Amino acid sequence: MPPWYRKARPVTVMCPVKPGSVESLKATLAGLPRGAESPLMTGRTHFGRWVVIERLHDEDGMASSDELTVPYLLFTSNIDGAVDTYLEELVARRPDAMHRIWGHCIGYQRPGDDVALIAYLLRNQVRTNLFFSPYPRATVRRVSSAVDLRRSFIDLASRTDGIAPGVLRAEFRAWYDDQPKKVTH
């Protein structure tokens, strides 16, 4: 599928972690809010996560002959829109948390400077050669709308299980009339 046809696109950022900072970094990541308060809830994130990579393993599960000189922080996300504006929104949503996270990394030099942090992330961006998105042409808004519609329909089915056909028809029509007719994004 040509890139211009996709709505979702990948972001991958890999940064070396300062010596002695791994446990503090893990604690910082574990302390991030989840759900609606998550830094990833920008309205443009399909999926995102941070992973601390301390060592590499070969396919047999044994330590790799390719050793890392330092651990790395991997941030990966599937997003809507341009990478640079996404990173701006990510930092703007939770600036203190973003500076705390990347403050554990080598090369991060200006705590509190959002523009410098975004530039640092862009410098450490890794090209994504293999990308999978279950809904490549759908925006986050469209996927969320479909999930909401599904929940609503399941609720209707549960509420109307076993009722008379005429009542079911009336319930369905009322439910249908109450649904948004089209999501445009």
Q: What is the pLDDT of residue 61?
A: 64
pLDDT number for residue 159 = 86
Instruction: Give the number of other CB atoms < 10 A from CB of residue 173.
Output: 10
| Stretches in the chain below the pLDDT threshold 50 | 1-5, 185
Q: What is the pTM of this model?
A: 0.73
pLDDT at residue 55 in the model: 81
pLDDT at residue number 149: 79
List pLDDT tens digits, range 129-166: 877 767 667 776 777 777 777 888 788 888 888 888 88
CA distance linking residue 74 with residue 54, whole number of Å: 11
Cα–Cα distance for residue pair 26/165, rounded to 1 Å? 56
- Is 121 buried (19+), middle (13-18) or exposed (0-12) by CB count in 10 A? buried
